[in-house]
Amino acid sequence: MVLVEGDNGDGATVEQDDFALPGNGDATLPSAPEQVVSAILGTREGAAEGGYQLASTGVTWTDQLEAAALRDALAARKIENVMLVSAFLAAAALAQSVGSANGYGRTGLLFVEPDAATTAIVDSADGSVVEARREPFTSGDPAAELAAMVGDMQTLESRPDGLFLIGSGVDVGPLKPQLEATTSLPVSAPEEPATAL
């Protein structure tokens, strides 16, 4: 959970807190939706105590069933102003911000997950996503597969001006220099990849 300053959530990090979600069959911990609801309420309380006015809350999800359960838990407790966003759409929004800040007309997005990666072109002006393509990893060398995906992206008519690398459940730090060595595109990644989404 990250509390960020600014109207658009693009300011300094005020507070950060991590919490473990239960594994399959782990009855000792509350359910993931219950833990997220508790974290939201705790963050709201902490923000108010710190003199901050919380404008909205965004929750990034990777499991659609857990997201539905969270939506139901939020509705049951009448907790409002919470946006549930897929990890890919959150990554696309970050790519738009990065592209806009760097003066790119279009930003290539490379969204890496443990078993697959998705490439897309994000328009920096309006955030529209085109040319999205998800591919599972099939070889023992994901870095080579990612480099090939980025190479394919550079041949598109809507060729990007730069590449934004981000992961969900994957440390993308070691991948950045490998990609920089294989592409002419400037490659950027979040400074704190674990909390970027």
Structural domains in the chain, sorted by start: 2-80 (no CATH), 87-195 (3.30.420.40)
Summarize pLDDT for 87-105 with one digit per residue, the tens. Answer: 899 899 999 999 999 999 9
How far is 74 from 121, CA to CA, in rounded Å? 33
Beta-bridge partner residues of 52: none
CA quadruple 6, 56, 108, 189: dihedral positive or negative? Answer: positive
How far is 80 from 86, CA to CA, in rounded Å? 18
How far is 59 from 71, CA to CA, in rounded Å? 10
The pLDDT score that the predictor gives to residue 161 is 96
Beta-bridge partner residues of 130: 121
What pairing do the DSSP bridges indicate for beta strands 162-167 and 129-136? unpaired
- The residue whose two tokens read 């509705």 is 75
How far is 167 from 121, CA to CA, in rounded Å? 16
**Which residues in the chain land under pLDDT 70?**
1-3, 6-28, 193, 195
